[in-house]
Structure 1
Amino acid sequence: MVGGKVLKYNFNQISNHFYKNNMTILDFFGCAFLAFGTPLSMFALTVCVEPMRVIILVASAFYWLIALLLSSILWYVVKSLQTHLAFGLVFSVLFQEIFRYLLHMLLRNAERGLEKITPVHLADRRHIFAYVCGLGFGLMSGAFAFVNILADAVGPGTMGLRQGTEYFFILSAATTLCFILLHTFWGVIFFSAIDQKDFGKITWVVCTHLFVSCMTLVNKDGYYAASLLSSYTILLLNAALAFKVAGGKLDNIGLCLPYRI
């Protein structure tokens, strides 16, 4: 009450004013939570519980950065890669898989040393550390792929990119989430395949990585549905394969929920 008069506010006017001035902020947080909400929850619930897992995750993220650095150097030196994005993408994927293998070799060679500073027998928990390495690869990959897009999403306003879709940010967030989870599952499958010398699974990881990465190239032509549907289909297949590789069974899915991995 001001001056004996009751001030009546129109809720719709207030809400419209709020959204007009904070639309880009809402877009920023919505896309950020979509892309990184699930992976960060996985990190908090399954990685932070042990210092050793945090160390391995940081090491795996560093290995992905080295792969990115070498890919960037190759792209800069070889001029033909700068004009044909697909070739640069293929070499980038191959570098990532090479460094995934090198990370596996590092962990296997360091197992004896790591067992001296932890009471856990690491050979019995290899699938867990494979999961952690995959998550580290995915988080760093997602951060580099999506941080610049998020910076543009925060505003004050972003015009369409060459008459692109208005859902560019949310589609990019969904793609980022897909790749983070894919890297996690690829890590589990790849490490197990190396230990068992299963070249079929190794080929599967490399080929699906190449396929999903190349499918993102069709986004420039507006085929977002084809890219996302194929990517998430591959994600489900890799999730099922990683679950099987880790020794999971359909009967114990419900039983595993109350426990930590």
Structure 2
Amino acid sequence: MTLRTAFGCGLVAFGPVVALFLVSCARYPLRIILLALSAFFWLVGLLISSLLWFAVVPLREQLAFGLVFTVLFQEIVRFLYFFLIQKVESGLRSKISVTEAEREPDTSVTTYAANSQADVDSDIPLVASKKAFLNHNLIAYTAGLGFALMGCVTEYIFLFSQLTGPGTPMQGSRPGAFFLLAALDSCFMSLSQIAWSVLLFRAYRLRKYLQIVIIIAAHLGLSTVSLVNDLALPAPELLCALLVISFFGFLAWAFFAAGGTVRPRKVARSD
């Protein structure tokens, strides 16, 4: 029974994130590379926070201490990932500018951008605009997906170990409800990572400092509120509801910030 519960809750926690990976990244090698790179950055942040937690002996038993610094280090490595992408874009732009300057102009041939539309559709990144050499929204989404996958894995490991032990007593009128709520918390917290990456990358690029503070504060606040799981009912249910509401709020914000619209697109027809 506990093993079936563990796999069922695992599908709840990992299902949406894995589905997004299979649909949007699995077929594109460059996106997988960027996703793996973002996951590596996330692990570096977790390693640094773990070293800090291990070094500060008096506060090892305080979950809030480790949680706050883990979130802060996650945001630091997210910014470092963005900074690395900006450096890559700058280097690519300089390289292409030098190449185009050395190339002899040919008026009989129409010169396009460094990539064709087929390149954009087939794999990651490049767009035809000289102002935005890379597709920042796609890179931010891929980075957020890497953060989401690693966050979901680390959050669910403890839950999985508790569920698959030699004996797990289920107490109360709703046995196993806590595990389902914990899986839902992991699911929506990991999905929020994608929206936060899209919003933060845009805020970093446009230097919108107020948005940066709001998003990081929301990440820190939601992570800290998760400590109420130790309290009695209905604290876990309220936490799950809060995570669901906040996720859809950030999802809508990220959708419109990335240029999305609810209006139907008009398709030009040529007869």
TM-score range, shorter chain: 0.7 to 0.9
- Select 2:202's aligned residue among 192, 206, 210: 192
Paired letter, 2:162: D
Give distance in 2, aligned partners of 1:113 and 1:72: 34
* Residue 59 to residue 166, structure 1, CA distance change in 2 (3 Å): same
Q: Looking at secondary structure, tell me which structure has more helix per residue.
A: 1
- Indicate whether 1:245 and 2:257 are aligned: yes
Quick one: structure 1 residues 97 and 164, their matched pair in 2 at CA, closer, same or farther if it must change by over 3 Å?
farther
Q: Percent identity?
A: 34
> How many angstroms does 1:213 deviate by?
0.4
Q: How does 1:55-70 map to 2 (within 5 A)?
A: 55-70=33-48
1:44-123 to 2 correspondence within 5 Å? 44-111=22-89, 119-120=119-120, 121=126, 123=133
User: What SS class does the counterpart of residue 251 from structure 1 fall into?
Assistant: coil
Cα distance, 1:149 vs. partner? 1.7
Q: Paired residue for 2:216?
A: 206
The C-alpha deviation readout for 1:172-227, integer Å capped at 9, x for no partner, is 11011011101111000000000000112111110110111011101101210221
Q: How does 1:163-174 map to 2 (within 5 A)?
A: 166-174=176-184
CA deviation digits over 1:46-105, x for unaligned, max 9?
012321110000000000101100111111111233132212211111100011000000
Separation (CA, whole Å) in 1 of partners of 2:30 and 2:200:
21
Cα 1:205/1:165, change in 2 over 3 Å: farther
With structure 1 as the length reference, what TM-score do the two structures score? Answer: 0.81
Structure 2: how far apart are the matches of 1:163 and 1:110?
56
Which position in structure 2 is the counterpart of 1:42?
20
Structure 1: 5+ residue stretches without partners: 1-22, 256-261
How many residues align? The count is: 232
8 A contact 2:53–2:60 mirrored in 1: yes
Q: CA RMSD in A?
A: 2.5
* Residue number in structure 2 paired with 1:176: 186
SS at match of 1:188: helix
Runs ≥4 in structure 1, deviation > 4 angstroms?
A: 112-120, 160-165
Structure 1 residue matching 2:203: 3-state secondary structure: helix
Aligned counterparts of 1:83 and 1:24: Cα–Cα separation in 2: 28
2:160 pairs with 133, 146, 150, which one?
150
